[in-house]
Amino acid sequence: MEILAFGVQADEKPLIERAFHGHHEVRCLDVFLNEDTAPIAAGYEVVSTSVNAELGPRVLEILSAGGTRMIAQRSTGFNNIDLKVAERLGMTVARVSYYSPYSVAEFAWTLAMAVNRRIVRASTRTRDFDFRLDGLMGRDMHGRTAGVLGTGKIGEAFTRIAHGFGMRLLGWDIAENPVCMELGMKYVPKEQLLAESDLVTLHVPLMPETQRLIDAEALKTMKDDAILINSSRGGLIDTAALVAELREGRFTGVGLDVYEAEAGLFYVDRSLEAIEDDTLARLVTFPNVLVSSHQAYYTEDAVGQIIEATVGNVLDYKAGRRSENVLVPRS
């Protein structure tokens, strides 16, 4: 059986081909799955997709009509897949329920320290042999307050690092993490966390209940000199409201590895094109904002685990087995 993998980055391709070797053939494409590219999958029983694939009703119907019976998504998130339609069409859907939480947590801290210590501005200056310190002053993290929204595996890893910095720890989640509590975390209402935290980081999944968790009201609750980091899902923040606050001169720094309208933009070279997204275009102009291209997970360790789990999902599908990664079981 040959598998068709959409949205494969150049660094990923040899890893995917090596992982599937001896099991199944795999064809890797750098294009992303959407309504225009879905017909390419005709004749492929198994399709592997990336987090930016568009798997709404129309795309799923095209895949199903072409003979696709299994979708193996190479990510933890699956808000891009219409699971009800997939089930109606008799398609099996699986994801990767776990990979290195340290990859995302460490990158969230990378963003936090980069905006706090003005690393991008400093690097740009020194390339021009400008070694002034004006405008580069940051703050110690030691003794300040870190607010962690979502204290699962990634939030816990972020909290361990914050504890190492000697920070006061506030948490918000539907369930308290005993490890975080042992580190000294105090669970408080979201409003209190936002009001008291010098650093706010998001590590919750995107669901209807968390859509725009950080809206205009939440942003106004935060300290004027706070740092806001999002390495989870772009839809957790009302970006237009964030831009409005930034225009007022608020926040020491904002680090975003995700963007609510990133589909069709991230993972693609748009450097020679006019960007039609006015919100994103405005966002990247702020000197205290750092936007990266959904790369927090992108380490050898995490990507290796994702690919290994994806291979396992395909083998389970062929063998009729079901694991915790299955979102829609084989009918």
For the annotated catalytic residues, the residue numbers are: 233, 262, 294
174: burial class by Cβ within 10 Å (0-12, 13-18, 19+)? Answer: exposed
Per the CB < 8 A criterion, the answer to whether 39 and 59 are in contact is no
Residue 153, SS3? Answer: helix
Phi/psi at 148 (5° precision): -110, 110
- Which of 249, 218, 212 shows the shortest CA–CA distance to 232? 212
Instruction: Compute the distance between CA of residue 225 and CA of residue 217 in angstroms, rounded to an integer.
Output: 16
Question: DSSP for 112-140?
Answer: HHHHHTTHHHHHHHHHTT----TT-----
Phi/psi at 168 (5° precision): -75, 140
Structure tokens at 201: 């980081």
Per the CB < 8 A criterion, the answer to whether 242 and 219 are in contact is yes
- Which of 243, 238, 231 shows the shortest CA–CA distance to 211? 238
Per the CB < 8 A criterion, the answer to whether 329 and 71 are in contact is no
Instruction: Compute the distance between CA of residue 93 and CA of residue 68 in angstroms, rounded to an integer.
Output: 11
Q: How many CA atoms lie within 13 A of 330 on its CB side?
A: 17
Instruction: Compute the distance between CA of residue 79 and CA of residue 132 in angstroms, rounded to an integer.
Output: 45
